[in-house]
Structure 1
């Protein structure tokens, strides 16, 4: 009888441990994770940094949510200097941006319509660019 109860307990633990680990990881997982990287070529990017600090993510969102994106034709001469993606806990991602930096400002691309060669771009002032660099360091 003792042997059966021990075997039963072990089986129950084997079944419950993965469920508990999965539940625990979802509870401690941050609501949002900001991924920062660089563009490798026209179609590929590599994310090399994860930011999980809630305050930094909020500052990042504020910078980009305040931008005024306009639709126009724009053809980058080189791959983006920075790329960003904000992953949410529920499995979606937002704030996918490509950023080209020059001396005084940056150009931010948020969307590209390849059929019509139209992009949604905005300019990021030097001040906002400095704020962005302090967030990702």
Structure 2
């Protein structure tokens, strides 16, 4: 019997099974890791260096410009954080896909990953932990 947490929504119950191509998942993970390392990371660092530079202060009597500069600084900080976190998050997604494909490569055609398996793979890739207790 499939646990409730692993069942799909009621409107999807008559669609049948969903199959995953483990080899394509593995290829995707490898390609994604390579693209982040080779195509994204060098440019992200360049963008981050430019964005970390502060703009000059505005004139105290020009309040509209001061308000603009304050908002610009907030947006710049969020953009900088998103730029740096994108590589980390993408790497974690690639690591989870790689881990899932590795664990299910030797499974038969009817075996499937549970929602909990996927969640554990993401948690492990996020924390870097290899010793999480698996509660199955």
TM-score, structure 2 normalization: 0.28
Higher relative contact order (CA 8 A, sep 6+): 2
Q: Which structure's residues are more often strand, by fraction?
A: 1
TM-score, structure 1 normalization: 0.28
Q: Which structure's residues are more often helix, by fraction?
A: 2
